[in-house]
């Protein structure tokens, strides 16, 4: 189901707390098209998207979302032009520095999921400092998927389990879905209730493949930099209107 671009309607009221999903995943898509429509460089679209990321993150915390996972940088994004990748990394560094300077007033715990070992030592140090500084926060957990791919996450989890078997810490017979879940980046967190993709695209793009087995998918043709809290309210209303059976009747 899709909800379409706004047409001058009044901003809807915030979603009722009872309808708010516990865990929302967002594929932040459409930055490049947003810039192209305005005859701007793609980097301008990513900067606008980064600003909107801050708005939507704070709004999710305000309305009672407990876990928010945002797709920031995929394992496939490295194939983009070097100028664009460098712009993305620059914005990422800006966010980390801002988090330590300004974002700590928010009651939001920040975690990074994905292989961060590819980043510079400076970025890795900033990542550790943000995670450590925000660890006591209790309102919402913000997962930032950086250098993340769903297949890579599953492969990594299988490798970690195999290492435990080889070390005698467990046996192959002990492997269940619940046991496997403990080897994922999101271990200990509930699966996403809803995954949202702005921009009109209707695919997961290697995002949370294991975790989204029964996630409700909502997409919108609103480009990410234009996506407003009222649009999130509408997505939540669509989510709340569905009957989730989890394979049952």
Q: Of 74-78, 115-119, 200-204, 236-240, which range is least confident?
A: 74-78
Q: For the chain, what is the domain count?
A: 1
**Global confidence as pTM:** 0.88
% of the chain with per-residue pLDDT over 90: 68
Domain-embedded: residue 155: no
pLDDT per residue as tens digits for the range 110-124: 999 999 999 999 999
Among 29, 226, 231, 233, which one carries the catalytic annotation? 29
Instruction: Please check whether residue 6 lies inside any domain of the structure.
Output: no
Q: What is the pLDDT of residues 46-70, one digit of tens each?
A: 889 889 999 999 999 999 999 999 9
Contact 77, 148 (CB under 8 A): no
- Residue 150, pLDDT > 80, answer yes
With beta carbons less than 8 A apart as the criterion, state whether 71 and 207 touch: yes
pLDDT band for position 105 (cuts 50, 70, 90): confident
pLDDT value of position 25:
98
38 within some domain: yes
Q: Is residue 96 part of a domain?
A: yes
State the angle between helix axes of 82-101 and 121-134 in degrees (0 to 180), rounded to the nearest 10.
40
In a domain, 157, yes or no: no
Bigger pLDDT: 190 vs 248: 190
| 77 assigned to active site | yes
Per the domain annotation, does 224 fall within a domain? yes
pLDDT (tens digit per residue) in 238-248: 999 988 877 77
29 assigned to active site: yes
CATH number for the domain harbouring residue 144: 3.40.1180.10
DSSP 149: -
How high is the pLDDT of residue 99? Answer: 79
Evaluate if residue 73 carries a pLDDT over 70: yes
**By the 8 A CB rule, do 152 and 180 touch?**
no
Q: How does the average pLDDT of the chain come out, rounded?
A: 89
Tell me how far CA of residue 171 lies from CA of 102, 136, 177, 238, in angstroms: 47, 35, 14, 43
For residue range 220-229, what is the model confidence (pLDDT) as tens digits? Answer: 999 999 999 9
171 lies in some domain = no
- Which of 31, 52, 77, 206 is the catalytic position? 77
Boundaries of domain holding 228: 18-150+194-240
Residue 233 lies in a domain: yes
């Amino acid at each position: 189901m899709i909800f379409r671009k706004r047409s001058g309607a009044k901003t809807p009221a915030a979603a009722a707390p009872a309808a708010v999903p516990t865990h929302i995943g967002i594929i932040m898509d459409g930055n490049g098209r947003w810039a192209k429509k305005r005859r701007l460089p793609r980097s301008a679209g990513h900067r606008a998207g980064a600003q909107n990321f801050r708005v939507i993150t704070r709004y999710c915390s305000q309305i009672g979302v407990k876990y928010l996972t945002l797709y920031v940088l995929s394992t496939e994004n490295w194939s983009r032009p070097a100028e664009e990748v460098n712009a993305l990394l620059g914005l990422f560094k800006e966010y980390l520095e801002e988090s330590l300077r300004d974002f700590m007033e928010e009651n939001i715990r920040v975690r990074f999921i994905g292989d961060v070992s590819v980043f510079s030592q400076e970025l890795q140090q900033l990542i550790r400092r943000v995670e450590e500084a925000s660890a006591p926060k209790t309102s919402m957990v913000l997962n930032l998927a950086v250098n993340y791919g769903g297949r890579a996450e599953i492969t990594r989890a299988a490798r970690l389990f195999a290492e435990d078997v080889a070390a005698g810490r467990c046996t192959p017979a002990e492997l269940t879905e619940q046991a496997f879940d403990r080897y994922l980046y999101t271990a200990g967190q509930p699966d996403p209730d809803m995954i949202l993709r702005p921009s009109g695209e209707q695919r997961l793009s290697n995002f949370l493949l294991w975790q989204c087995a029964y996630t409700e998918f909502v997409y919108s043709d609103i480009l990410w930099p234009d996506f407003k809290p009222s649009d999130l309210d509408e997505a939540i209303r669509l989510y709340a209107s569905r009957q989730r059976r989890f394979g049952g009747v």
